[in-house]
Amino acid sequence: MTYSRIIGTGSYLPEKVLTNADLERMVDTSDSWIVERTGIRERRIAGEGEYCSHLAIAAARNAMAAANVGPTDIDCLIIGTCTPDQVFPSTACLVQYALGLKPGGVAFDVSAACSGFVYALDVADRFIRTGGARRAMVIGAETMSRVINWTDRGTCILFGDGAGAVILEAGDEPGIYSTHLHADGQYENLLTVPWGVSQGVEAMTPEGGKIVMRGNEVFKVAVRTLGRMVEETLVANGMTHADVDWLVPHQANIRIIQATARKLGLPMERVILTVAEHGNTSSASIPLALDAGIRDGRIKRGQNLLLEAFGGGFTWGSALLRY
């Protein structure tokens, strides 16, 4: 059997910090409301001219250094993003060229909103297990600030920008035990950026290209769905919560994360949290949290990690792996 295992991680956050105090000056909100309802204290915002690919390139360089591999060692690049630089080429093609990855290798983007990284990880794992690639780079990169309506207090407090990267290598032992992906398109209206190129620029209203969300309803479906999925993931591997060393969740809202940890029977000390400093960076949030936990020494080789995400679509997905 061939498995894929993580040989290095990296991340990048833009320099500009937007605090809750800054938001208090922009919309009718307060630091205490944001912290109590979401756990978020600050988030990063991409600078002028700083695009999704730039964030991804910085995170990728970081991951290659950690994995001790060069650009020509990587034959597959998959980027989860819903905020690409351009319609085409894909962000993955831009990043492949900028980094000097193996020419002629595989490079493409995956669109699954906040679940983008887990979706991309699943695909990369399949490439490796079936012999289509030997080393794959998986990146979650987002410039969510560009799809925010900065006058909508229900959404502008939640999101931030950033990128995280993981390098996978083929090996004889797991690695990734299993991945689980799901989607249900009936919830389109609860969470959407209701404009895309197919509608034409003339259909673009000032609000059209910005996030619209019924947060309370998203919250309820997310909690219910994530609870079911973490159970599905453990059962598929004949494991219990006692076998999980770290939960590395999508960082949308501390209360959603707490509900999932409770469902798993995991104390919060075994959850990697970055939501306070990063906010919701969509598909970048899991690889950012993973890299934070690895670099500060909490996540150690041989430990079992459960990754889980939920996002627009709705989409949701998980991965159980040995680091």
Give me the residues that bind ligand ACO (CB under 6 A), please.
29, 33, 37-38, 114, 153-154, 157-158, 191, 213, 215-216, 218-219, 222, 250, 252-253, 256, 280, 310-311
Q: Does 280 qualify as catalytic in the annotation? A: yes
In angstroms, the CA 277 to CA 260 distance is 20
The residue whose Cβ lies closest to ligand ACO is 215
- Residue 224 or 300 having the CB closest to ligand ACO: 224
* CA-based nearest residue to 321, from 131, 69, 163, 129: 129
The residues, ordered by sequence, that sit 6+ positions from 33 with a Cβ below 8 Å of its Cβ are: none
Q: Least Å distance between CB 294 and ligand ACO?
A: 22
Q: Least Å distance between CB 74 and ligand ACO?
A: 29
Catalytically annotated residue among 52, 76, 114, 156: 114
Other Cβ atoms closer than 10 A to 267? 9
Q: Least Å distance between CB 187 and ligand ACO?
A: 10
The residues, ordered by sequence, that sit 6+ positions from 255 with a Cβ below 8 Å of its Cβ are: 37, 38, 39, 219
- Residue 229 or 252 having the CB closest to ligand ACO: 252
Catalytically annotated residue among 52, 156, 250, 278: 250
What is the token pair recorded at 109?
């983007």
Angle at 106 (CA atoms; ends 176, 57), nearest 5 degrees: 80
- Residue 170 or 259 having the CB closest to ligand ACO: 259
- Residue 220 or 300 having the CB closest to ligand ACO: 220
Q: Least Å distance between CB 308 and ligand ACO?
A: 10
Q: Least Å distance between CB 214 and ligand ACO?
A: 8
Residue 102 · residue 52 · CB < 8 Å: no
Other Cβ atoms closer than 10 A to 277? 18
- Residue 96 or 281 having the CB closest to ligand ACO: 281
178 CB burial (10 A radius; 0-12, 13-18, 19+):
middle
In angstroms, the CA 20 to CA 156 distance is 11
* CA-based nearest residue to 52, from 173, 170, 147: 147
Catalytic residue annotation: 114, 250, 280
